[in-house]
Amino acid sequence: MSNGQKLIDRCRELAQISDNADGTFRTFLSPGMRRCYETVTYWMESAGMQVHIDDAGNLRGVFPGDGCCAQPLLMGSHLDTVRNAGAFDGILGVILAIELVEMLGSRKLPFDIQVVGFSEEEGVRFSTPFIGSRALAGSLTEEFLALRDAAGISVAQAIRDFGLDPNNTAEIALKPVPLAFLEFHIEQGPVLDHASESLALVDTIAGLTRARVTFTGHANHAGTTPMNLRSDALCGAAEWITEVERTALATSGLVTTVGKLDVTPGVANAVPGEVTMTLDCRHADDSVRFTAVKALRASAIAIADGRQLTFKWADLLNQAATPMHAGMVELLNSAARQSGLSLRRMASGAGHDAMILAACMPAAMLFLRSPRGISHHPDEAVMAEDIDNALAVGGNFLKCLSQTYKQWETS
């Protein structure tokens, strides 16, 4: 069996570990995550790593180097998922990094290799992503620790419930800072599949605005309330959602999504009194994103005024577009050329932990083709040959970095 197929099998094995009876779903420090960590810990230890869980719930494997370089190389991705997820988003990046370590056998590099499985990237449980990587970047503030999930449990309490110490999260920031962070990830879109290409270098990660938007009117009887006397929150939301779509269709490179919508009272025979929804807006150029978000906020206010509704807007996330480290991308590119591959550079429409870690260390990403461009869906897939190519590039990257680490050392 090729390594590629072995790693596909491992990802599919983890996809069976879920907090839901139907579909793959694991959130921050959930029971499913604990079971997932047990399996990944076994694979990390089999590859010769020392494994621990840090106080932000990240799974951490360390493969010691020969001591020549104090700064480690960090590789990894996230182990949490969206609801009804595929088997490879995030997970493949952790499994592939473990395999690169395993392929070293007893060889020691000049630097330690740290493999991390981040505890929360998708932001499902607390409506805010990147909890694990923020801790490693030293940006997990008290404000994040105080966020509460739908059951009213705070991030800090979830950390305590898992047997960890939320008072220690400030200690997690990596010291010394790693030479680099390398994340392997599926593209999650159609570009490579359409071009029949195996891998790509990521040059920038699109910026991301996420907000919670609420329209409030008056719930009333569906049968007795005349149409001209209604303040129907859902009709207002519907008018705005079509404006959200129209704005993106009219703006090159902009994507907007209303992915979650809650209606109250949410019964067939009552006029909707309140609608709460999420807005996700992304673009590789922050000024374009800011202009779009400003226009969408203004149109929501106008729609609410015109329908005697009230309107609330709560910012959940404003993540800047993040360029990858040019030097590290070039090193990855030369590793790819050594593997006989000539790779395109492309922007990532999806957000990734690399955009958080890029604030404090050189970060680079290698994309693997997503067959049919599907992701955040059970039909998400990856091809064994692309994993084999990624392992070849990753192996050459470790070799190139071992030969050039002195030029990247910062401490």
**Residue 122 within binding range of ligand HGY, rule CB under 6 A:** yes
Separation of CA 108 from chain center: 31
From the list ligand HGY, Mn ion, none, which binds 236 (C-beta under 5 to 8 Å, kind-based)? none
**CB nearer to ligand HGY: pick between 132 and 351:** 351
**CB nearer to ligand HGY: pick between 23 and 64:** 23
The beta-strand segments (E) located in 259-411 are 261-264, 270-271, 274-283, 310-319, 322-323, 344-348, 363-368
**CB nearer to ligand HGY: pick between 52 and 372:** 372
Q: Among 239, 235, 217, which residue's Cα sits nearest to residue 296?
A: 239
- Contacting ligand HGY (CB under 6 A), which of 121, 183, 197, 386? 121
**CB nearer to Mn ion: pick between 19 and 89:** 89
From the list ligand HGY, Mn ion, none, which binds 351 (C-beta under 5 to 8 Å, kind-based)? ligand HGY
Q: Among 219, 350, 211, 209, which residue's Cα sits nearest to residue 277?
A: 211
- Contacting ligand HGY (CB under 6 A), which of 11, 73, 101, 350? 350
Separation of CA 26 from chain center: 13
Q: Among 273, 296, 272, 274, which residue's Cα sits nearest to residue 283?
A: 296
Shortest distance in whole angstroms from residue 188 CB to Mn ion: 7
Q: Among 34, 130, 92, which residue's Cα sits nearest to residue 26?
A: 34
- Contacting ligand HGY (CB under 6 A), which of 110, 129, 272, 394? 129
- Contacting ligand HGY (CB under 6 A), which of 72, 217, 236, 351? 351
- Which amino acid does the sequence have at 319? Q
Stretch binding ligand HGY (CB under 6 A), from 57-65, 121-129, 364-372, 400-408: 121-129
Site residues for Mn ion per CB under 5 A: 89-90
Structure tokens at 295: 């226009």
From the list ligand HGY, Mn ion, none, which binds 61 (C-beta under 5 to 8 Å, kind-based)? none
**Residue 93 within binding range of ligand HGY, rule CB under 6 A:** no
Q: Under a CB-based contact definition with an 8 Å cutoff, are residues 311 and 304 in contact?
A: yes
How do 344-348 and 50-53 pair as beta strands?
Answer: unpaired
**CB nearer to ligand HGY: pick between 71 and 133:** 133
**CB nearer to ligand HGY: pick between 71 and 370:** 370
From the list ligand HGY, Mn ion, none, which binds 29 (C-beta under 5 to 8 Å, kind-based)? none
CB-count exposure of residue 263 (10 Å: 0-12, 13-18, 19+): middle
Shortest distance in whole angstroms from residue 90 CB to ligand HGY: 8
**Residue 183 within binding range of ligand HGY, rule CB under 6 A:** no
Q: Cα–Cα distances in Å, from 145 out to 28, 119, 135?
A: 12, 14, 10
What is the C-alpha to C-alpha distance for residues 90 and 359, in angstroms, rounded to an integer?
A: 20
**CB nearer to Mn ion: pick between 15 and 219:** 15
Tell me which residues touch ligand HGY (CB under 6 A). Answer: 121-122, 129, 350-351
